[in-house]
Amino acid sequence: MRIVQKYGGSSVATAERIRHVVSRIIMTRQAGHEVIVVVSAMGDTTDELIALAKQLAAEPDPRELDVLMSTGETQAAALVAIALKEQHVPAVSLMASQAGIRTTDRHRRALITAVHPERVVRELDAGKVCIITGFQGITEEGDITTIGRGGSDSSAVAVAVALKADRCEFYKDVEGILTADPRIVPQAQKLDVISHEEILELTTLGAQVLHPRAIELGQVYRMPLVVLPTFSMGSGTVIRALTDEERVMEQFNRVSGVVCERNVAKVTVVGVPDRPGVAYQIFKPLADAGINVDIIVQNVSRDGITDMSFTLATEDLPAARRLLEPVRGALGAAILDAATGFGKISIVGVGMQTHPGYAATMFGALRDAEINIQMITTSDIRITCLIDDRDVDTAVRTLHEAFIEQVAAAASA
């Protein structure tokens, strides 16, 4: 197989850890695979370089900051190559310019536009391990860019796609992706397999492990992504496209994870006219101000008048109030009602698409736990409820037990 392995900053933070990375690479080669490595900068290097730049300018020039930051990954790549060659493994470090990682010229947040892997292929054909710098790219003009925080994960997927790799592995400080936050649910289980779309919905569980951009890229190109523990031999979590058969099979007929979010505020515009354009009038100014609105519910209209409710982060509430007061006046709405102290709870699973009854089970479990549901929103593979913030932990544990622990127990029975 052709395997891309991405090692994060903490995996290459010291000489000792680099030697450990090298032993993983050698193990993979000895299993008969071709290995391409993508590395981040060592430990806190990127932050240290930014701090240095900020001694010289409050807002350092983005082009030059990219040049500066890119040196972190270049150093890490060279050091891994040095350590590999010391073990008599043919290896070559390649910067983004050499690996052909082309990007837009929007510095600091460039987007990968293409990967031209001719040099990488030549080095692989010569039997070498290629160590490619993550996070960085190069413009048409030959200038260095960086592709934003978490970008190294995206680099790895882009390289894997361009090289038609069989899988892209991410070595992290975790055993894999879990079914819930273990600080809330001690029984949280490691997922063996999950689909790209599920992990994208499990934001708080997934995003801590793998950048959403990388997952989306994997989804679009159907590249299997594997989250593996750096410092143990665990099997990790495979993120991949599920087959049609799998989607209806029993083992996937389950909830993949339970996630929650806190510090949610709810706003209701009471008594707005039920006519086209009202939603636009309310949400356009919020969008322009960069305020993310989440659950939106419009009540059934009565006498041409309705209520519009939505949630947002508590920290955005003051700004939202200020923006909406004139809108309320223009709409002739009666009241702008705002309240804080809410939380969101979601279950995610592809099985929902083909198996009914998830919603009923979720609502029943919350009722049994005497948790009141304020608002509901759903997608194809997710059901989210707005509840009191103080009920969030109980709700996560209740739903994890109902959808994951009981199913696992039944399966093993």
Residues that bind a second copy (CB under 8 A): 15, 18-19, 49, 52-53, 55-58, 60-61, 63-65, 67-68, 70-71, 74-75, 77-79, 81-83, 85-86, 92-93, 95, 97-98, 119, 142-143
Say how far apart CA 194 and CA 252 lie, in whole Å. Answer: 9
Closest CA to 292 of 329, 268, 274, 319: 319
CB of 118 to a second copy, least distance (A): 11
Say how far apart CA 279 and CA 296 lie, in whole Å. Answer: 10
Q: Which is nearer to a second copy, 75 or 104 (CB)?
A: 75
Q: Which long-range contacts (CB under 8 A, 24 or more apart) does 407-411 make?
A: 407/254, 407/255, 408/189, 411/251
Say how far apart CA 46 and CA 343 lie, in whole Å. Answer: 34
Q: Find out whether 254 and 404 touch, Cβ atoms under 8 Å.
A: yes
CB of 141 to a second copy, least distance (A): 9
CB of 47 to a second copy, least distance (A): 14
CB of 383 to a second copy, least distance (A): 49
Q: Which is nearer to a second copy, 63 or 190 (CB)?
A: 63
CB of 214 to a second copy, least distance (A): 25
CB of 32 to a second copy, least distance (A): 25
Which pair of structure tokens corresponds to residue 177?
Answer: 């992706």
Residue 8 falls in which region: left (phi positive, over 0), alpha (psi -120 to 50) or beta:
beta
Q: Which is nearer to a second copy, 83 or 366 (CB)?
A: 83
Q: Which is nearer to a second copy, 88 or 302 (CB)?
A: 88
CB of 15 to a second copy, least distance (A): 4
Number of Cβ within 10 Å of residue 21's Cβ equals 23
CB of 18 to a second copy, least distance (A): 6
CB of 95 to a second copy, least distance (A): 8
Say how far apart CA 68 and CA 72 lie, in whole Å. Answer: 8
Number of Cβ within 10 Å of residue 300's Cβ equals 7
Q: Which is nearer to a second copy, 20 or 211 (CB)?
A: 20
Q: Which is nearer to a second copy, 136 or 256 (CB)?
A: 136
Q: Which is nearer to a second copy, 73 or 197 (CB)?
A: 73
Q: Which is nearer to a second copy, 18 or 178 (CB)?
A: 18
Helices 392-400 and 358-368 pack at an angle, to 10 degrees, of: 130
CB of 115 to a second copy, least distance (A): 16
Closest CA to 205 of 224, 188, 181, 226: 181
Helices 15-30 and 62-86 pack at an angle, to 10 degrees, of: 60
Name the 3-class secondary structure at 122. Answer: helix
Q: Which is nearer to a second copy, 80 or 392 (CB)?
A: 80
Q: Which is nearer to a second copy, 67 or 313 (CB)?
A: 67
Say how far apart CA 238 and CA 245 lie, in whole Å. Answer: 17
Q: Which is nearer to a second copy, 19 or 149 (CB)?
A: 19
Say how far apart CA 295 and CA 367 lie, in whole Å. Answer: 21
Query: 332 Cβ partners below 8 Å, 6+ apart?
Result: 271, 272, 273
Query: 277 Cβ partners below 8 Å, 6+ apart?
Result: none
Helices 278-288 and 317-331 pack at an angle, to 10 degrees, of: 150
Say how far apart CA 410 and CA 413 lie, in whole Å. Answer: 5
CB of 222 to a second copy, least distance (A): 32
